[in-house]
Structures are given as C-alpha cells and as structure tokens.
C-alpha cells in the first residue's frame, strides 16, 4: 500500500503524539523515569522526549503510526486533507507528578473537542487489533518469545498471543491509542471518509477470514507413546513452508504445528522453532534433499532435531530445542505443509531406510518410531466442512420455512422466505440444505410384495401420463 505524500507527511507527528499519550497515561499510573526498567519500583527509561527514545522504541512508534495509516487505507477509508485549525493546543499538565527527574513532561495534543461518529468507532476497533499485531511483530523480530511472565533478560512476554486472548486492560489501552490516533488525524485537518457498507464488510471479512493455505497432519491416537526415546526422519522435497515435530493427542489439526501449547515444531524454511504460538530462532535453514531427524525423549522430557545427522543448536549453543515438556498425554509425530509442499516420511519400519539414525540417535538410545511394525501409520488431517443448523431449532432464524401439505394431485412442498428486508448495497446470502429423512417400516416386505408395490406405482404413472395426454388432445 502506497500512501499519498500528504498522508505520509503526518506520520511523524502521529508517532510523536502516540508516545506523548502513552507517557501521560504511564505517569498517571504511578510510573516515573529511570535509566533501567524496574516493574516493582515502576521505573521506565522511555519516559523521556520522543527524540531521546531508544532506537527500537522510536522505530516501534513510527512503524505503528505508518501501519495505522496503511490500515486505514486498506480498510477502504479515503483520507483527504482540509485546512487545519489555526492553532493546535497541547494539554497543559501539572508539574506534579508529570514533570520527570530528567526534565521531561508529556505534552499530548488536546483532543477533547473531537467526537467520533459510529463509523469512526468501528475504525477504532479495527485499529486497536492492528496495534497489537504491530507490537507482536516488532517483538518477535527483536527475538522475543512467549512466556508466562515478562522477562527482559530472556526476552519473554506473556502478551505475544492472538488478539482475542489479550488481557482486557491491554485491549482497552489499544482502543484508547487507536481513538487518540483517529482524533489526532482529525485535529490536523484530515478527513476520513468511510467506505460503503459492502466495502467495509468485505474488508472486515478478509480480516476475520481464516486462511486455509496450509494443512496439518498428526498420527492416529493408537500410535501415541508415553515413555521411551523415539526417532523418525523427514526428507525435504520442496523449498517451501513446512513444519515438523511432535504433538500430543490434544493437538487440533486445524492449528498449525507449534501454534498451540500441545505441539512443538521446527521450521527449517525460516530457521526457527515454534511452540504455543511463540517463535524463536533455532538451528539453520534447510534445503531440498536435507533430512531432518526428530528426537523425542520422554524420560528427560526434551525434544531435539538433527539436520543430515548433525544436532541443531539454539542461540545459546544448546542441543535441546524444547525442554520440560509436559508428558501427561501421549505424543505422536505431526507436520504442517504449505500449499504444494512435499516431504518423505521415514518412521523406521525398515531400519535400513533411516539415513542418519546410526550417526545421531542410535548411540543415544533412541528407537525408530515404527520399529517392529509392518503397516504404514495412519494420519489425521484437517478438513473444513460447512455446518448447517436446523431452522426449527434456531431461536432466531433469518429464514422462514412454510410447509405446504400435499393435495389430491400435488406433492407436499416447502416455501422459503427471508424475514429481513435487504438494500442493494447490503445483501446477505444464506446457504441452505434440504435434508430428506428416510422412514422404514417395522417389518420389511418380501420380494412378492415389492413387485406388487412397484407394479402399483407404474400403473399410477401410466394413468397420470394418459390423463395429461388427454388434457392436451381433447
């Protein structure tokens, strides 16, 4: 998305005001400036002027402002510029407690006179989610991963989760930030023209729509293991997005491997490992023809990977990809393939087909996952099907069904009508399915009775045909 020059010019002012609003709210919550962040004493090094912010924080605010403008345009809103007010005021905050030891005092724009319409409130909600996505993307690029608590040393954060799972307080803060952003644009004389209803719903629909550009597989539950040390190989045949690893029986195939707390994945396409939605650099990128060894140790509760017989290392030089894994459930091999991707699975029914097992795995006490098996292992995979609800069971259905009883010469019928009146620019389509039940008699008839019934049906058909022919030729 390319922004017009008159729109792109405002993103510096927008990013600066985002920081000023954040600093004001932070100080109001009891925080003050400190050279090192201390959550206990509520000290924060970013409570300073925008120009003196650390490069990473300044880049985050600038990126957020730029992405916000691009998001507004991508949602179909038209940004035009009008004559700005002659004077744009800032909020005059008292020195106590807003004046910091370093001489900084926030000065956000005074936006109390700007009110938002319902269309603008819808935009605020969409931008709030975008704020979280920008934050998560920046943190992951900086090497942060998901953790139960904030840890700046190990770079772990509990907020690297999908927006629907974000804490309500953070959602409110994101909405406030988005509201301040929209009102800042309006203050500087920009006009946000909302798109038509159809265009807006199309944009929102694209955001909520699940992208089915991948497919996940996991072994059948009967193959799950709860003890021992297990090994299988995975040969890369195409240079695209593939994830390989292990999953428990609670893993839902509709989620990509490593996308929940029940699966652990190595993504050699990007050179990283994934678990519970978090991503961390690991190993190195693979190439077509490489063989990945997947090692599961349920005694020491670890998962490791090898590439062409060489154990992969993390950023700290450790040979373990995942440690302290939960062993309450059984584990099975699992994978996620992108569109058109291929791989060769070798589970060890024939040990001689394992290329690197003797190099890495055998000496460490691992066993082939399908040792002493002759049959191929069965897999489950995700497949999305439409779900239909019985109209009679719905408390509020947009579709009304009227049953028309049969007549002397007409069969029964169903009349369907839509309860809601729809305009031209807003049309809702309903997908319906007609289910015809089959009723069986308590006792089945014999062959003679079947022949008699069939002859009776044919006699009626001949009579109806003769009646129609007579009506046509009196």
pLDDT, average across residues 230-235: 97
State the pLDDT at residue 320. 94
**SS3 readout for 330-357:** CEEEEEEEECCCCEEEECCCCHHHCCCC
Residue 357 pLDDT exceeds 90: yes
Per-residue pLDDT band at 212 (split at 50, 70, 90): low
State the pLDDT at residue 426. 57
Q: Which has more pLDDT, 125 or 233?
A: 233
CA distance 305 to 245: 9
Exposed / middle / buried, residue 335 (Cβ in 10 Å: 0-12, 13-18, 19+): buried
Hey, what are 80's tokens? 């035009």
pTM (2 d.p.): 0.46
CA distance 329 to 320: 20
State the pLDDT at residue 473. 46
Q: Which has more pLDDT, 271 or 474?
A: 271
Cβ 253 vs Cβ 382: under 8 Å: yes
Q: What average pLDDT does the structure give for the chain? A: 84
Strands 322-323 and 145-146: unpaired
| 55-74 vs 11-28: helix crossing angle, rounded to 10 | 120
pLDDT, average across residues 202-207: 47
State the pLDDT at residue 423. 56
Residue 202 pLDDT exceeds 60: no
Q: Which has more pLDDT, 201 or 216?
A: 216
Partner residues linked to 65 by β-bridges: none
State the pLDDT at residue 208. 45
CA distance 409 to 349: 66
Residues 6 or more apart in contact with residue 441 via CB below 8 angstroms: none
Exposed / middle / buried, residue 366 (Cβ in 10 Å: 0-12, 13-18, 19+): buried
Closest CA to 378 of 366, 370, 367: 370
Hey, what are 332's tokens? 């099975």
Best-predicted range by mean pLDDT (63-77, 99-113, 348-362)? 348-362
State the pLDDT at residue 88. 78
Rounded to 5°, the CA angle 90-95-101 comes to: 110
Partner residues linked to 311 by β-bridges: 306
**% of the chain residues with pLDDT over 70:** 91
């Amino acid at each position: 998305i390319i922004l017009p020059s008159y729109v792109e010019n405002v993103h510096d002012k927008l990013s600066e005001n985002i920081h000023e609003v954040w600093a004001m709210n932070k100080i109001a919550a009891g925080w003050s400036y400190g050279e090192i962040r201390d959550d206990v004493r509520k000290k924060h090094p970013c409570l300073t002027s925008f120009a003196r912010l650390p490069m990473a924080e300044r880049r985050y605010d600038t990126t957020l402002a730029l992405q916000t403008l691009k998001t507004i345009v991508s949602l179909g809103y038209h940004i035009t510029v009008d004559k700005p007010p002659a004077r744009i005021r800032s909020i005059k905050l008292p020195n106590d407690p807003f004046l910091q030891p370093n001489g900084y005092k926030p000065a956000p724009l005074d936006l109390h006179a700007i009110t938002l319409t319902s269309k603008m409130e819808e935009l605020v909600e969409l931008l709030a989610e975008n704020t979280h996505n920008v934050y998560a993307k920046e943190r992951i690029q900086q090497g942060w991963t998901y953790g139960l608590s904030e840890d700046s040393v190990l770079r772990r954060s509990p907020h690297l989760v999908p927006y629907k799972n974000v804490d309500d307080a953070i959602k409110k803060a994101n909405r406030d930030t988005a509201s301040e952003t929209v009102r800042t644009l309006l203050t500087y004389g920009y006009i946000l023209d909302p798109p038509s209803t159809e265009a807006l719903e199309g944009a929102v629909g694209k955001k909520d729509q699940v992208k089915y550009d991948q497919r996940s597989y996991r072994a059948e539950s009967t193959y799950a293991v709860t003890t021992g040390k297990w090994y299988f190989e995975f040969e890369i045949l195409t240079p695209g997005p593939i994830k390989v690893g292990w999953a428990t029986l609670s893993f839902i195939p509709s989620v990509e491997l490593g996308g929940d707390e029940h699966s652990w994945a190595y993504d050699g396409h990007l050179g990283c490992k994934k678990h519970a939605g978090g991503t961390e650099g690991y190993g190195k990128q693979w190439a077509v023809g490489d063989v990945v060894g997947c090692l599961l140790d349920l005694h020491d509760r670890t998962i490791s990977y090898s590439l062409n017989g060489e154990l992969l290392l993390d950023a700290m030089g450790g040979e373990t990809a995942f440690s302290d894994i939960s062993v309450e459930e059984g584990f099975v091999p699992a994978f996620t393939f992108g569109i058109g991707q291929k791989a060769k699975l070798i589970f060890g029914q024939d040990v001689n087909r394992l290329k690197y097992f003797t190099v890495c795995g055998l000496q460490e006490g691992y066993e082939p996952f399908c040792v002493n098996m002759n049959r191929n292992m069965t897999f489950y995979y995700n497949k999305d099907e439409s779900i239909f609800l019985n109209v009679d069971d719905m408390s509020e259905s947009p579709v009304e069904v009227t049953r028309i009883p049969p007549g002397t010469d007409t069969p029964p019928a169903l009349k369907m009508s839509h309860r809601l009146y729809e305009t031209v620019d807003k049309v809702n389509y309903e997908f319906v399915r007609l289910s015809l039940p089959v009723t069986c008699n308590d006792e089945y008839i014999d062959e003679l009775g079947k022949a008699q019934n069939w002859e009776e049906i044919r006699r009626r058909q001949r009579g109806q045909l003769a009646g129609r022919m007579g009506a046509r030729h009196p």
